[in-house]
A and B are shown apart, each in its own frame.
Chain A
Amino acid sequence: MARSPSLHVAVIGAGIVGAAAAHFLAAAGARVTLLDASGPAAGATGASDGAVSVASKRPGPMMDLARHARAFYGKCEADGLLRGLFHRRSTFLVARTALEAELVAQHGTDLAAAGERVLDVDRPALLDRIPGLGDGVCFALEIPDDGHALGYEITERLLQKSSVTVRRNAPVSEIVMRAGQAVGVAVQGELVPADAVLVAAGIGSVGLLGLGDILIPRKGQMIVTDRASAGRPAIDGHLMAASYLAAKRGIVRDNAHIGLVIDPLVTGQFLIGGSREDHRADQATDARTIAAILRDALDLYPPLRERRVLRTFAGVRTASCDGLPIVGPHPHLGGVMIATGFEGDGICLGPFMGASAARMILGEAPAADLSLLAPRRFAGAEALA
């Protein structure tokens, strides 16, 4: 174990990934300073749904990694770290047209091939589980082993249960290099010395590392309703429309496309999403988009007509140009590790990827093969060349 008692790591970005990395680094004995331009969970982590879902992943490495990541949640829940914050629940993939049914069936085949349990549910069984479901739903699959966690709660717990120094309102302007090796980060003219630097700053990573060609912001608008039930999810599973799978599988790329999910929160409220607006980094919401999401949601689940909208909000996903996260050592900057580009999968992947980045910083192998995510794949791009 390359564990130096004096190792000091600066982690940039107090979202779920940065908080997880900081937590596990500190747990391994490192001294950790976690810096955020705002505060914990201030970015996409605090403005997202809480799906810890394998069902939603694109077939291939993302689906496999999501299975590792979800299992990691289960382990952290069992060992006490995340006790009470991770809940198992089903995801229902639902189709409303014959074409959508084909897509859902194909996705089910891909999930099964990845080792995931996939259950057929006929309409009567489905109505039994989700009373009131729209008449248009003609085909559905149940993915019974998915889960739910709230990004900001996970972030808070990871920081609570660690000795990490958190610095709020501490925007990092530069990674300070000496002789090809990171020696610290600059915060408002102050040098915070460090032996290693982890960049987990979401869309903020673009400015720090010059990744403008590689990372793009993708805004998502969402809705939170009032409570439909007291202190438990109002329906027995997460509703994921085929339109969401179509976006995740790259079949549809259109800023006006709604990838519909209806997420029953443990508070009894619903979280409904969402739009996928490329190159939009603002957090504004608009009535045009929100109304379109709600119309689609009412069609899928008409009992929402008895709910009120409490809030609308937008989160900015950080997507990479090849659709895979960027996790691993910077190809040229010594002592600099990157963990970003999780798009809409940060809550699911975050704790596992943070823990993996921590292991890499400590010179250990991550618990899964992350070589496909290594930043060196972009070595052709100017910023990482």
Chain B
Amino acid sequence: MNPCFYWIDRPVSFRPGETIAAALLRVGIADLGPDGGQVRGRVFCGIGACQACIVAVAGEGPVEACLTPARAGLRLSPQPSLGLRHD
């Protein structure tokens, strides 16, 4: 059985060596939220440059989903979106 991490509360299984981005997209999670955010996260450039696929990691600093190998047990969630201030 493949190991899994958690996107919000949903378990997402991954192949060892795979990035978080690859695992999320494979199960159809393209919208990295947050719900109703002004600009929502998404995997875009695949090489760490655009920073659009940043996900929060419980207890640690956020990471680029496209650069970071998935690890079993990671608890991931959306990063805060932009506020209304500059819109």
Q: Which residues of A contact B (CB under 8 A)?
A: 226-232, 266-268, 305-308
Interface size bucket, B side? 10 to 19
A227: chain B residues at CB < 8 Å are 79-80, 82
- CB nearest neighbor in A for B81: A230
Q: How far is the CA of A224 from the CA of B51 in the complex (A)?
A: 16
Q: How far is the CA of A305 from the CA of B62 in the complex (A)?
A: 10
Q: Which residues of B contact A (CB under 8 A)?
A: 34, 37-38, 54, 56-57, 59-62, 79-86
Q: How far is the CA of A360 from the CA of B53 in the complex (A)?
A: 54
With A230-B34, A230-B37: A268-B60 Cβ-Cβ less than 8 Å: no
Q: Do B61 and A307 touch (CB < 8 A)?
A: yes
- CB nearest neighbor in B for A232: B83
Q: How far is the CB of B36 from chain A (nearest CB, A)?
A: 10
Would you list 12 pairs from A and B whose C-beta atoms are within 8 A, ordered by A residue? A226-B62, A226-B79, A227-B82, A231-B82, A231-B85, A266-B83, A267-B82, A267-B86, A268-B83, A305-B59, A306-B57, A306-B59
With A227-B79, A230-B34: A308-B84 Cβ-Cβ less than 8 Å: no
With A266-B85, A308-B61: A230-B56 Cβ-Cβ less than 8 Å: no
- CB nearest neighbor in A for B86: A267
Q: How far is the CA of A350 from the CA of B85 in the complex (A)?
A: 24
User: Apart from A230-B34, A230-B83, what are 18 other A-B pairs with CB-CB below 8 Å?
Assistant: A226-B62, A226-B79, A227-B79, A227-B80, A227-B82, A228-B80, A229-B80, A230-B37, A230-B82, A231-B82, A231-B85, A267-B83, A267-B86, A268-B80, A268-B83, A306-B56, A306-B60, A308-B62
Q: Do B85 and A305 touch (CB < 8 A)?
A: no
Q: How far is the CA of A308 from the CA of B80 in the complex (A)?
A: 13
B82: chain A residues at CB < 8 Å are 227, 230-231, 267
Q: How far is the CB of A320 from chain B (nearest CB, A)?
A: 35
Q: How far is the CB of A83 from chain B (nearest CB, A)?
A: 14
